[in-house]
Amino acid sequence: MADQGTPEQPRAESKSRVPQGKRARWTLGRALAQVAVVILVIVALFPFVFMLRVAFSSARDYLSGIKVLSAPLTFENFTEVYSSTELGRYLFNSLLYSILTTLIVLVIGSMAGFGLSKARNALVRDNVMFFVLSTRMGPPVVFAVPLFLLMTNLLLVDTRVGMILVYTFYNLAFAIWLMYGFFREVPPEIEEAGLLDGLSPLSVFRRISLPLVVPGLMATGILVFIFTWNEFFYALVLTRDVAKTFPAMVPQFFGAFRVEWGQMLAASTMGIIPPLVFGLLIRKYLVRGLSLGSVR
Amino acid sequence: MRLSKRHYLILLGPTLLILFAMLAFPTAYVFSISLRDYKLTDPTAGNPFVGLENYKTLLSDPEFFSALWRSVLFTVGSVALTFVVGMAIALLLNRRDIRGTGLTRTAILVPLILTPLVIGATYRFMLDRDNGIINEFLALVGLQRIPFLADPAWAMTSVILVDVWQWTPFAVLVLLAGLESLPVGPFEAARMDGASRWGEFWYITLPLLAPVIAVVLLIRTMDAFREFDKIFIMTGGGPGIATQTLPIFLYRSGFQDFDMGFSAATGVVMLIIVTVVSSFYVRRIHSAGE
Amino acid sequence: MKKSLTREDFLRASGGALASVYLLGLAGCGGQGTSSGPQGGPPDHHAFEGDTLKLLLKEGYEIEAIQKYKGDFEQATGTTVETEVYDEPTARQKFILDSNSKTGTYDITSVSFWNLPEYHRASYLEPLDAWIAKARDPWLDPKAIPKTAMNVMSVDGQLYALPHTIIGGMLFYRKDLFEKHGIKPPQTTADVLSAAKKLKEAEPSISPFTGRGAPTFASLGTWLGWTWGYGAKLYDDNMCPHATDPKFVQGMSDLLTLMQDYGPEDAASLTFTQAGEKFSSGNAAMMFDTTGFGGIFEDPELSKVAGKVGFSLPKGPAGNPLQWTYLEGLGISAYSQNKDLAWLFLQWRMSNETTRKEALELGRYDVPNLNVLHSDEYAKLTKKKGVSDYTKKLPQAWENITLEHWPFVPEFAKIGDTFMQQVSSAISSGQTAEQAMQAVQPKLDGISKDAGYCK
């Protein structure tokens, strides 16, 4: 969203009625607000912290109520889950798909994003963008049945190739949309200068525009990585065992007789490390990505 | 910079190829399947063409309308709550006089990037009637335990609240960015005219934020409508069909009842709903992104 | 079904055209063709050393022997046996999806008899007659398994699974509580109802009754078996549903009363394991379910009420014994890549050695191996463990078994799910049997019509 103020106008901060600066007096309202913030952080982080707590607790402890919060730490869930399930393989698959999909999608998506950013014909461009956007809007469940039948016929069910194809399709539109936005921020003068120097448009793309959008590439790439890593539905329907991903293995902890909470959360702890780490790395771009570029 | 047709071909070729193969084709395919009697466990039947039979069955199936209603309930409930709570928190974090807002903004990113399925699974444990930590707290203070996910009345509420927990940070951050880029002029003028805080919010803040709010509402609506992971792992659509939204309904008919034709018809209907609703707003987002 | 190799290569290459050659190297292979039937003669036990068998199992007491003793098999053959255990609807779903995509992830699967028509129609299971004829191992004694069981596990004369469970209907009751309050052991459905009423007042902290209420096809047996006592069948010979038939409604009404008014508060969600737990933990005074629970309830390590259990085979108003017909066995996936080894495993599982241990060490007194059941050791053990009450009733329970009341059709799962969803919600909402049956009749009509029955 473009800044609606002129350069001379003071920043929005001073529009607040509240006395400025942290050195102001503590009123009741301010105290309540401070407490609210603390509660907010607790609410936001508690489930995550709890997950870690249970992952490092023994079964007896996490089934005995509040006491689990002060129980001794143990690695038994981790050793158990690694020995009784193929967690290693599933994490590897998730990593493989996320990385390869990101690479493929960045290459193809940046090319398409660049091309679309230069398109003069608004009608064509708008329609292509709508077409592209609809894959972000459309519920994945709608394509479950045809994709499942298609992949069954192509013998691609439970194959790594199949999953990478599916994830490429799943993320491509999103990547194009984001890269389109980033390319439009490149000052045209720099690209014109390149043309004047005798470069072909494609060389301009490769040698001038692309390097200028590296932060955007990284942001898009990491978002694609996270979306692919977290994807569950297609993994559930289109994999059996060989090509299964980390999220798709979580249901198997809900056994017939009882639920292996500890092991499940231990596996989950291992599995959320990549999206958490990478997501926090690009937190500047997270909101932009999730809102499809409409908020900078 | 002018690009020739050849350039466009090179730049956009692979994209169009993939999108055609994996979007146009499956879309056409799902239409085609929806017009057949296609039972996965009956390969000998030959999947005969039955025209609009599946749609007739679908539109006279009370369970479909129940699922549609649940989807509406879930979507409206989650979006409304996310917006109201998100707006409140955004206003809170916009204050300059409290500490830790920077840390808070990072902390609330966590719900957004955690794997939704993991979120659902963790909450399933936390909300368990007998072993869940939330019920342990309730019991500690002498309240009765609540079967959050096993009682039909509570289940939908619980599922909505978990979705709100995950997505409110998104609303907060977007609205916050919006708040921060609002011009100061109208506010100063309002203060000079003696407007109340509520009046200021209602008559100035909200209208100025309208484009941003529209973005939040649209994206949240689309995401809530297609939500599957968390509901699947927390209740599986249950108890009974209390939390069976359209995506769960589609999954069940296709991958538990194995009636592909019927499931495909459900998918087509969902696609129509989504297209109609989003075509109103897609232009809005597009122009907001300019 | 089999495509030529070049066509598969072409499809796979065009599917992977966008990926690098490196990706193709990483791609796993989907399941392709299947091995070509039994090679003649009993196989050498060590012919498959190093191979792995994957079993898809449904939860239940019959898999305990598999999990405990599979080491014996692994040692005897030098192979590895991996098992995955799921609740019944999930196990069926996984098997169907696996079979449909022909991936052959599972070699062996639990087969409930009621899924046989569906599996037979879609050719998901390997027919076993040829294997018995050509590749019988000494492990399998053809006279050991009751003939009726083998017949039930066959469709159109083809055997699809080797039975390892035969179950009939039985009412379990706390004979200590009955004695304490002077209630006579229930011999009819009316007795059950009056006993429940008395127990509710006499023992307010215990649910008088428990049974299956979960909204899946796995619970259907309770309700159709009970109503059979009233001389009512849900479906007639043309597969037309008669849910609103007065006799059927009467039976449903009595059982619904038992679950609503005299059952535990979560009655509407109870699977057989959970319902059993209610009884074995002492929280329920009566349970109508399957004979399989006898050994479990009388095992002091598994049950808090061991030694206090009474067994009866009640009849309904029409004089029919209450049913809970269930047979289960192990079958081989048609897409398995290890059929010879899988067949060896099936035979090992029902061998005299394995079933003997199962009965004597694990206390599974109803293991369907006639050699074991008629042995002296068995007689001695049941006397010593005090389970003769139970084992004496077993032959009668097995004899009472009938399939007349059962919808033995491929649409069984859908029928069961639809019916039980209605019943389950009736249990929790307090709806009457009339209302519930009125509501479910059109749905069942729809299923029959859709499948081409009941013209």
- Torsion sign, CA atoms C425, C426, C431, C433: positive
- Report the mean per-residue pLDDT for chain C: 87
pLDDT at position C43 over 80:
no
The CA angle A260-A264-A270, to the nearest 5 degrees, is 155
pLDDT score of A28: 84
- The angle that helices B116-126 and A28-55 make with each other, rounded to 10 degrees, is 90
Average pLDDT over residues C207-217: 93
Distance, in Å, from the CA atom of A197 to the CA atom of A192, rounded to the nearest integer, reads 9
pLDDT score of C90: 87
- From the list A160, A131, A146, C21, the residue with the least C-alpha distance to B18 is A131
**Are C106 and C336 spatial neighbours (Cβ–Cβ below 8 Å)?**
yes
- HSE of B88 in the Cβ direction (CA atoms, 13 Å)? 10
- Report the mean per-residue pLDDT for chain B: 87
pLDDT at position B286 over 70:
no
Distance, in Å, from the CA atom of C430 to the CA atom of C71, rounded to the nearest integer, reads 49
Among B110-119, B180-189, B280-289, where is mean pLDDT lowest? B280-289
* Residues of chain A found within 8 Å of residue B27, distances taken between Cβ atoms: 143, 146
pLDDT score of A295: 64
**Are A245 and A59 spatial neighbours (Cβ–Cβ below 8 Å)?**
no
pLDDT score of B283: 62
Residue with tokens 């100035």: B204
Residue with tokens 């007739």: B56
pLDDT at position C390 over 50:
yes
Dump pLDDT digits (tens) for B31-62: 999 999 898 888 877 888 888 989 998 998 88
Q: How many CB atoms lie within 10 A of CB C185?
A: 15
Determine, for residues B222 and A137 on separate chains, whether the beta-carbon distance falls below 8 Å.
Answer: yes
pLDDT score of C25: 28
Distance, in Å, from the CA atom of B222 to the CA atom of B273, rounded to the nearest integer, reads 10
**Are A159 and A152 spatial neighbours (Cβ–Cβ below 8 Å)?**
no
Percentage with pLDDT > 70 across chain A: 88
Determine, for residues A111 and B10 on separate chains, whether the beta-carbon distance falls below 8 Å.
Answer: yes
pLDDT score of C213: 93
- To test the contact with chain B by mutation, choose from A196, A291, A292 the residue with the greatest count of B C-beta atoms within 10 A, namely A291
Indicate the helix (H) or strand (E) that contains C159: strand C158-159
A122 contacts: CB under 8 Å, gap ≥ 6: none
Dump pLDDT digits (tens) for C231-290: 999 999 999 999 999 999 999 999 999 999 999 988 988 988 889 989 999 999 999 999
Determine, for residues A156 and C8 on separate chains, whether the beta-carbon distance falls below 8 Å.
Answer: no
Confidence at A14, pLDDT banded by 50, 70, 90: very low
Dump pLDDT digits (tens) for C339-367: 999 999 999 999 999 999 999 998 888 99
**Are B235 and B247 spatial neighbours (Cβ–Cβ below 8 Å)?**
no
Nearest chain B Cα distance for residue A226, angstroms: 7
**ipTM of this predicted structure:** 0.87
Query: In 3-state terms, what secondary structure has residue A259?
Result: strand
pLDDT score of B20: 76
Domain boundaries, chain B: 62-258
Residue C62 has phi, psi (to 5 degrees) of -70, -15
Dump pLDDT digits (tens) for C281-333: 999 999 999 998 998 899 888 899 999 999 999 999 999 999 898 999 999 99
- From the list B286, B95, B83, B94, the residue with the least C-alpha distance to B176 is B94
| Interface check C411 vs B, CB under 8 A | no
Q: Which of residues 158-177 of A touch C (CB under 8 A)?
A: 158-162, 164-165, 168
pLDDT score of C48: 87
pLDDT score of C299: 87
pLDDT score of A256: 64
Average pLDDT over residues A54-60: 88
pLDDT at position A155 over 50:
yes
Determine, for residues C103 and A156 on separate chains, whether the beta-carbon distance falls below 8 Å.
Answer: no
Please tell me which of the candidates A158, A161, A257 has its beta carbon nearest to residue C101. Answer: A158
| Strand pairing class (C108-112; C52-58) | parallel
pLDDT score of B282: 63
Q: What is the 3-state secondary structure (H, E, C) of chain B?
A: CCCCHHHHHHHHHHHHHHHHHHHHHHHHHHHHHHCECCECCCHHHCCCECCCHHHHHHHCCHHHHHHHHHHHHHHHHHHHHHHHHHHHHHHHHCCCCCCCHHHHHHHCHHHHHCCHHHHHHHHHHHCCCCCCHHHHHHHHCCCCCCCCCCCHHHHHHHHHHHHHHHHHHHHHHHHHHHHHCCCCHHHHHHHHCCCCHHHHHHHHHHHHHHHHHHHHHHHHHHHHHHCCHHHHHHCCCCCCCCCCCHHHHHHHHHHCCCEHHHHHHHHHHHHHHHHHHHHHHHHHHHHHCC
The CA angle C363-C366-C367, to the nearest 5 degrees, is 85
pLDDT score of C149: 86
Q: Which of residues 39-68 of B touch A (CB under 8 A)?
A: none
Kindly calculate the radius of gyration of chain B based on its CA atoms and give it in whole angstroms. 24
The correct answer on CATH 3.40.190.10 for the domain covering C169-323+404-451 is: yes
- From the list C82, C274, C67, the residue with the least C-alpha distance to A256 is C274
The residue of chain B nearest to residue A175, with distances taken between CA atoms, is B15
Which amino acid is located at A290 in the chain? Answer: L
pLDDT at position A235 over 80:
yes
| Interface check C21 vs A, CB under 8 A | no
Determine, for residues B215 and A295 on separate chains, whether the beta-carbon distance falls below 8 Å.
Answer: yes
Dump pLDDT digits (tens) for C76-105: 999 999 988 888 888 999 999 999 888 889
pLDDT score of C436: 95
For chain A, domains (ranges, CATH) are: 28-74 (no CATH), 79-290 (1.10.3720.10)
Average pLDDT over residues A110-133: 78
Dump pLDDT digits (tens) for B181-231: 888 888 888 888 887 878 888 888 888 888 888 888 888 998 899 999 999
pLDDT score of C22: 32
| Strand pairing class (C108-112; C154-155) | unpaired
* Residues of chain B found within 8 Å of residue A172, distances taken between Cβ atoms: 15, 18-19
- From the list A122, A114, A94, the residue with the least C-alpha distance to A216 is A114
pLDDT score of C192: 95
Confidence at C74, pLDDT banded by 50, 70, 90: very high
pLDDT at position C1 over 60:
no
Token output for B196: 């109340």
Average pLDDT over residues B100-126: 91
pLDDT score of B1: 65
Determine, for residues B118 and A268 on separate chains, whether the beta-carbon distance falls below 8 Å.
Answer: yes
pLDDT score of A126: 75
Nearest chain A Cα distance for residue C3, angstroms: 11
pLDDT score of C334: 95
pLDDT score of A17: 52
Confidence at A15, pLDDT banded by 50, 70, 90: very low
Residue C228 has phi, psi (to 5 degrees) of -60, -30
Distance, in Å, from the CA atom of A215 to the CA atom of A289, rounded to the nearest integer, reads 13
- From the list A164, A210, A174, the residue with the least C-alpha distance to A190 is A210
* Residues of chain C found within 8 Å of residue A156, distances taken between Cβ atoms: 12, 15, 30
| Bond before B239 cis per omega within 30 degrees | yes
pLDDT score of C151: 86
C112 contacts: CB under 8 Å, gap ≥ 6: C58, C88, C92, C326, C327, C328
* Domain B62-258 homologous superfamily, CATH: MetI-like (1.10.3720.10)
pLDDT score of C4: 37
pLDDT at position C23 over 80:
no
pTM score, two decimals?
0.83
Distance set, CA B88 to CA A83, A138, B158, B162, C338 (Å): 47, 30, 21, 18, 62
pLDDT score of C146: 86
* Residues of chain B found within 8 Å of residue A2, distances taken between Cβ atoms: 290
Among A236-250, B6-20, C427-441, where is mean pLDDT lowest? B6-20
Q: Which of residues 89-128 of C touch B (CB under 8 A)?
A: 89, 93, 96-97, 100, 118, 121-123
Distance of CA A239 to the CA centre of its chain: 21
Domain boundaries, chain C: 44-160+327-384, 169-323+404-451
Percentage with pLDDT > 70 across chain C: 91
Confidence at C37, pLDDT banded by 50, 70, 90: low
Indicate the helix (H) or strand (E) that contains C54: strand C52-58
- To test the contact with chain B by mutation, choose from A121, A137, A152, A282 the residue with the greatest count of B C-beta atoms within 10 A, namely A137
* Domain C44-160+327-384 homologous superfamily, CATH: Periplasmic binding protein-like II (3.40.190.10)
Residue with tokens 């509901």: B231
Percentage with pLDDT > 90 across chain B: 41
- DSSP tag of A118: T
pLDDT at position C75 over 50:
yes
Confidence at C19, pLDDT banded by 50, 70, 90: very low
Confidence at C14, pLDDT banded by 50, 70, 90: very low
pLDDT at position C157 over 80:
yes
pLDDT at position A257 over 60:
yes
- Topology match between the domains C44-160+327-384 and C169-323+404-451: yes
**Are C318 and C191 spatial neighbours (Cβ–Cβ below 8 Å)?**
no
pLDDT score of A61: 84
| Strand pairing class (C162-167; C326-332) | antiparallel
pLDDT score of B190: 83
